[in-house]
Amino acid sequence: MSILPDGRYVDDKPYETDIGEEARHAELDMSNTRLVWRRFREHKLGLVSALFLLFSYLMLPFAGFISPYTANERAPDHLYASPQGIHLFHEGKLIGPYVYPITANVNLETFSWEYEADYDNPARLEFFCEASYYKLAGLFKTNRHLFCAPEGATIFLLGADRLGRDVFSRILYGAQLSLTVGLVGITVSFVIGIVLGSIAGYFGGFLDWIINRVIEILRSLPELPLWLALSAAVPSHWSPVAVFFIISIILGILDWPGLARAVRSKFLSLREEEFVRAAEMMGAKPSRVISKHLLPNFLSHLIASATLSIPAMILGETALSFLGLGLRAPAVSWGVMLNDAQNLASIEIYPWTAIPMLPIVIVVLAFNFFGDGLRDALDPNRS
Amino acid sequence: MAALLKVEGLSIGFGNAAHVVDDVSFSVEPGETLALVGESGSGKTLSCRAALRILPAMATVHSGSVMLDGPKGPVDLMGLSERAMCDIRGNRVSMIFQEPMRSLSPLHRIGNQVIEVLRLHGTAKGQGARKRVFETFERVGFTNPERVFQSYPFELSGGMRQRAMIAMAVVGKPDLLIADEPTTALDVTTQAQVLGLIKEIQQDTGMAMVLVTHDLGVVANMADTVTVMNRGRVMEAGPAPLVLGDPQHGYTRDLFAAAPKIPESGEDAAEEHDRDYILEMRNVSKTYTLKGKAAWHPKIHVQAVRGIEFGVERGKTLAVVGESGSGKTTCARMALGAERADPGAEILFRPKAGAETVNLQDLDNQARLAFQRQAQMVFQDPYSTLNPRMRVKDALCEPMDIHGIGTREERVDRAAEMLRWVDLSPNMLTRYPHAFSGGQRQRLSIARALMLGPTFLVCDEPTSALDVSVQEQVLQLLEDIRDRLNLSYMFISHDLAVVARIADEVAVMRDGLVVEQGTTEALFHNPQHPYTKALLAAQPEPDINRPINLKIVAQGAGDPSTWPEAYRFDGANVPPLTKLGVGHKVRYYA
């Protein structure tokens, strides 16, 4: 720092002409996926949610193995059985995980089932035991379970329902349908939404007008009656799986307008970017401009909005099934299970019949956090 | 005399990263103008915002004091409560922002926005406040203050909005005005008028001003003292005549060397020769048809370009100069066949000397592809010209990919070679555009345009978004490449000083018409048209002894119907483009 005689200040640090600095960070040459992963890791809530979802989906094929009972296996002596805890110590001694067997009594004042535990005869759980038959991953027939109750005892971790079916097992089986119905629906709605949205946004004019009117018409339809009508149209003798596919496709067909509008408006603004004009002036065809320039720039938004709409689909399936319009017994989904909880009285006396709400809440939240984290991580404008 | 605002040892940083403003000190005396000069990222805006405590949420002030002198002696603004700061903002210190389009609320009438300042500070109420706003409106040069009071921002042009912003800033009679690049977003003639206005108001009211700018020309016209900043540090500070007249610091000298200058004098080009045009535009007009207000209203026709006649000579540069809305970009798009001119026009492209000409007006797909290999464009905005999702390699190979030239290896080889041509290293091929600075991106854009080996390039304001020193480098590069490959340029710009350097011939446009056209020497040495004169006069020169002549600017920059009779035009009544000398045409009634 120096002051010249004429009173001005001149910085006396050595000065070098700036020649457009080379490599500022080491991450410049890093691949895109690694960058995204690094940024995603910073979002702790998103990371935890992602791990949870990964675990949930990986569990789906093994649901039959983990659950002690199969989905529609009944215990006629244990209607509305209350949840049983797993204990380790009996009278001060470690005897490994065990349950107290329960027996049912009818309370003739309230006309409800009450269960009494037999605290003298702890029943130790068996592991890798043989019980009823199921198909592992839908392929291998086996009767091997991770754990089950010994002869003469039951294991209802989250209680049993109206017909004496294990709620815990049914939640696991229900996940197989509830978690995947969203994926099919999303695929359908994405294909339609992206195709129509990009056509409307890129070409504009008459096509744009038509697509917009279709969107408006779809949006003006009242949703519930429409669901009702569409699911009534599904032949009732179809198998639950076929119904399930149709339901998810219906959900997808009704869900695309929002996405199509997002794609369209994004395309309208991206089309004005100079790199798009540059590509057009090089002679690129519209299909190339859309697939190479417009969509990649929009991909992060698409992925994030996909993860954010899966929970909407899950909730949609749940709502439909809850109303009895979606999946029906004997298929098991969380919505079907909640259908049993429609009766206020039964919730009051047997609150565990409403437990399937819990996985719905957790999964929907997890998808939301995951989607949030993903959107932050994929956003290329941050750096 | 005590300084009105004294900033000392100010350091600001984002998070834990290195300080972006590092130990900056400056002070402003009452009634004086201090210019903070620097390129983007030098920390000049942050330092000013820190003085009003309106920093972005991420930024923290690590050290330093900001003393504002007041009736009760100097106060440190850093230590004041938020409540006390509100009394100072707008009342004692006010600010003008860079973007006039965005700094006014679109939902409120201008008058209400301005009067709010008085209301908030309890300076005046009711009719008194209204009267004061009208006075201020008159002061900033609105001829019809009542109409402006009632209008919404979208009804005003950019220059008018900036005047409204100034009115809002000065209506509370502040002691200090902070102007953050107040004229950067404006056309050069409007800039000159707004600068003149600020200066006048300052003389009237005796307020002090901190002027943040990157333009040494603006500094020379406005400042009493200058503080030059670079990368968050003060490089040189002192009275304007000293710093501008005899810069001591290396950085200040570099800035001066890079500032584009309008040549002092030149010689009229000698004789007319047979011209070999690579692109010739004959009788080119372009009319856009807009929908009427409602379906039953007649459609509105807007003439973006009217009767253009000029050509680009092989190996030379034709510059098209004009303010926003003058039709220069439409011209460029038509020259590349991206837009069709009105029927009757001829746009002739001759790939080689003596070869057959191609009329861009009637190209089939095959011929269009062939033409696109010959003619390419360099775009204006370095941040949107490259696809952020494409690696440099893919972006550069894309033109060859589209035209199906070469194998993958050949394309990459060519891309590496092009990178070397624009002075970038081939190992940058795998990077994404976000890793590059503005100047580097513009180089990449040039490299991409060169991939197909074109003979004709249209450059649409390629340097207007760049810092002066980078602008200089990019212009140099464009010149080198032109001479090396015998390219021909059509160079679109709003800046005469940039054009002076690179162009061989210049066409000045206004309202879709060419008003003057000639060789660079003729045009700069002997400008005839009042509009050209105004453009030349409005260009701020980094020389303190050559202030902007506002009279010439006002005369030429006004509406064409106010020009001297020989040049006047309004509506369809347009004087002919008359030949004045060798290669020099002016639109006037001879």
Please give the domain boundaries of chain B with CATH numbers for all domains.
100-173 (no CATH), 265-356+366-374+456-590 (3.40.50.300), 377-453 (no CATH)
Mutate to test the interface with A, among B384, B393, B403, B442 (most CBs of A within 10 A): B384
> Regarding predicted confidence, which is higher, A2 or A261?
A261
**A30 contacts chain B (CB < 8 A):** no
Among A28-32, A181-185, A243-247, B217-221, whose mean pLDDT is lowest? A28-32
CB-hemisphere CA count at 13 Å for B589?
A: 10
Mean pLDDT over all residues of chain A?
A: 81
For residue A50, give the H/E element and its range: helix A44-59
Characterize the bridge pairing of strands B176-180 and B208-213: parallel
Specify the pLDDT at position B272: 58
Determine the Cα–Cα distance for residues B66 and A253; give it in Å rounded to an integer: 61
Query: B469-485 as b/e, with b when 16 or more CB fall inside 10 Å?
Result: bbbbbbbebbeebbeee
Say if residue B75's pLDDT is above 50.
yes
Is the minimum CB–CB distance between A278 and chain B shorter than 8 Å?
Answer: yes
Q: Does residue A52 carry a pLDDT above 90?
A: yes
Tens of pLDDT, residues A1-34: 567 777 778 877 777 665 444 444 555 666 777 7
Instruction: Kindly list the distances between the CA atom of residue A382 and the CA atoms of A35, A46, A101, B346, in Å, as whole numbers in the listed order.
Output: 12, 18, 59, 47
A6, A29, A280 member nearest B430 (Cβ): A29
Half-sphere exposure of B140 (CA within 13 A, CB side): 25
How far, in Å, CA of B165 to CA of B161, rounded? 6
- Chain A CB contacts of B473 under 8 Å are 20
What digits encode the pLDDT tens for the residues A62-103?
A: 888 888 888 888 888 888 888 888 888 877 788 878 888 888
Q: What is the DSSP string of B135-202?
A: HHHHHTT-S-HHHHHH--GGGS-HHHHHHHHHHHHHTT--SEEEEESTTTTS-HHHHHHHHHHHHHHH
Tens of pLDDT, residues A302-336: 887 888 788 888 887 788 788 777 777 778 888 88
Query: How far apart, in whole angstroms, are the C-alpha atoms of residue B107 and residue A119?
Result: 74
Separation in Å, CA of B35 to nearest CA in chain A = 14
Interchain CB contact of A26 with B (< 8 Å):
no
Contact (CB<8Å) B243/A8 = yes
Beta-carbon separation of A283 and B403 below 8 A = yes
Q: What pLDDT does A362 receive?
A: 92
Pairwise pLDDT comparison (B116 vs A347), residue with the higher score: B116
Q: Where are the beta strands (DSSP E) in A46-197?
A: 87-90, 93-99, 102-107, 112-117, 123-124, 126-136, 140-148
pLDDT for the residue numbered A366:
92
Q: Is the pLDDT of residue B268 over 60?
A: no
Which sign does the torsion angle of CA B267, B271, B275, B280 carry? Answer: positive
CA distance B2 to chain A (A): 17
**Alpha-carbon dihedral A67, A69, A72, A75, rounded to 10 degrees:** -140
Q: Is the pLDDT of residue A51 over 90?
A: yes
CA distances from B176 to B11, B33, B48, B166, B588 (A): 22, 9, 12, 13, 46
Position A380 scores a pLDDT of 54
**pLDDT tens digits for range B474-494:** 899 999 999 888 899 999 988
pTM: 0.78
Do A282 and B372 lie within an 8 Å CB cutoff? yes
A vs B, Cβ pairs < 8 A, gives 108
Q: What is the pLDDT of residue A23?
A: 45
Q: How far is B140 from chain A (nearest CA, A)?
A: 34
Please indicate whether, in this complex, the C-beta atoms of B431 and A274 are within 8 angstroms of each other.
Answer: no
Residue A48: pLDDT above 90? yes
Distance (Å) from the C-alpha of residue A268 to the closest C-alpha of chain B? Answer: 15
- Whether residue A274 and residue B437 make contact (CB cut-off 8 A), yes or no, is no
B332, closest residue in chain A (CA to CA): A281
Q: How far apart are CA A346 and CA A352, in angstroms?
A: 10
The percentage of chain B sitting over the pLDDT mark of 90, rounded to a whole number, equals 6
Question: Is the Cβ pair A278, B448 closer than 8 Å?
Answer: yes
Q: What percent of chain A has pLDDT over 70?
A: 93
Q: Find, in chain B, the residue whose alpha carbon is nearest to that of A14.
A: B250
Q: For residue B31, give every residue at least 6 positions away whose Cβ sits within 8 Å of its Cβ, in sequence order, or none.
A: B202, B206, B207, B208
**Are B268 and B583 within 8 A, CB to CB?**
no
Please report which confidence band the pLDDT of residue A383 belongs to, taking 50, 70 and 90 as the band edges: very low
Checking if the pLDDT of B111 tops 60, the result is yes
Distance (Å, whole) CA B31 – CA B340: 55
CB of B434 within 8 Å of any CB in chain A?
yes
Best of B29, B372, B432 to disrupt the A interface (most A CBs within 10 Å) is B432
Report CB contact under 8 Å: B243, A4: no
For the cut 60, the answer to whether the pLDDT of residue A381 exceeds it is no
Chain B hits for A15, CB-CB cut-off 8 Å, are 235, 249-251
Q: Is the pLDDT of residue A262 over 70?
A: yes
Give the per-residue pLDDT at A20. 47
Q: Do A283 and B368 touch (CB under 8 A)?
A: yes
A22–B contact, CB cutoff 8 A = yes
pLDDT level of residue B569 (50, 70, 90 thresholds):
confident
Residue whose token pair is 């010739």:
B280
Question: Under a CB-based contact definition with an 8 Å cutoff, are residues A159 and A354 in contact?
Answer: no
Q: Is B486 within 8 Å of chain A by CB?
A: no
Instruction: Please report the residues numbered 284 through 323 in chain A whose beta carbons come closer than 8 angstroms to any beta carbon of chain B.
Output: 284, 288, 292-293, 296-297, 299
Which residues, numbered 306 to 335 in chain B, qualify as contacts with chain A under a Cβ-Cβ cut-off of 8 Å?
none
Q: Give the DSSP H/E element, type plus range, for residue A270.
A: helix A240-270
Q: Averaged over B248-264, what is the pLDDT?
A: 81
Render pLDDT for A202-220 as a digit per residue (tens, 0 to 9): 888 888 999 999 999 888 8
Q: Name the residue among A18, A281, A288 with its Cβ closest to that of B338.
A: A281
- Tens digits of residue pLDDT in B388-425: 888 888 888 988 888 888 888 899 999 999 888 888 88
Residue B94 has pLDDT above 70, yes or no: yes
Strand partners, B27: B6
Is the per-residue pLDDT at A257 higher than 70? yes
Q: How far is CA B86 from the centre of its chain?
A: 33
Determine the residue among A12, A18, A27, A32 to mutate to test chain B binding: the one whose Cβ has the most chain B Cβ atoms within 10 Å. Answer: A18
User: What are φ and ψ of residue B7, in 5° steps?
Assistant: -100, 130
Torsions phi, psi for B61 (to 5 deg): -85, 120
Identify which of A13, A17, A22 has the shortest CB distance to residue B254: A17
Residues A281, B386: C-beta atoms closer than 8 Å:
no
Q: Give the chain B residue whose CA is nearest to the CA of A8.
A: B238
Taking the Cβ of residue B302 and every Cβ of chain A, the question of whether any pair is shorter than 8 Å is answered with no
Residue B440 to residues A149, B138, B318, B428, B437, Cα–Cα distance (Å): 71, 46, 25, 11, 5
Average pLDDT over residues B307-335: 86
pLDDT for the residue numbered B469 = 80
